[in-house]
Amino acid sequence: EVLQEIKRAYKFIYKSNLLKKEALEKIRKELHLFPEIEHLIHFVENS
């Protein structure tokens, strides 16, 4: 389940036409925030 959520988060960030801020908001709203997803969010926010 965690791996599926990571794949979905990746698609929101890198494969969609969303801005970074929009993609992160969508991840927070639509995905279960496993620690791995939170780590990915923080990484993207700080890059």
What span, in angstroms and rounded, lies between the C-alpha atoms of 4 and 34?
11
CB 30, CB 41: distance < 8 Å: no
Global pTM value: 0.87
pLDDT tens-digit readout, 1-47: 999 999 999 999 999 999 999 999 999 999 999 999 999 999 999 99
CA distances from 18 to 33, 40, 47 (A): 19, 16, 16
Separation CA 22–CA 3 (nearest Å): 22
Residue 46 placed within a domain? no
pLDDT at 43 (0 to 100): 97
Q: How far apart are CA 47 and CA 42, in angstroms?
A: 9
In a domain, 29, yes or no: yes
11 occurs within a structural domain: yes
Residue 47 lies in a domain: no
Total number of domains in the chain: 1
pLDDT of residue 46: 96
Amino acid (one-letter) located at 43: F
What is the domain range of residue 18? 2-41
Residue 27 lies in a domain: yes
